[in-house]
Structure 1
Amino acid sequence: MIAIDIVKEYYNHFNNQNWEGMLGLLHTDIRHEPNQGDPRIGIEKFTEFLKIMDTSYQETLTDMVFFSESGNSRVAVEFTVNGIYKKGEEGLPEAHGQSYVLPAAAFLEVKEGKISRVTTYYNLPLWISLVS
Structure 2
Amino acid sequence: MNSPYSLTRTTKLFTSVAASLLLAGATLTVAAPAAGAADTGSAACPNPAWSNKSPGKGTPKGASALIRVGPSADCAVAYEVGTAVVMQYHCWVTNAAGNKWTHVRVDNTDYEGWVYNERLDDGGSVHPDNRC
Higher strand share: 1
Higher helix share: 1
Shorter-normalised TM range: under 0.3
After TM superposition, the score normalised by the length of structure 2 is 0.26
After TM superposition, the score normalised by the length of structure 1 is 0.26
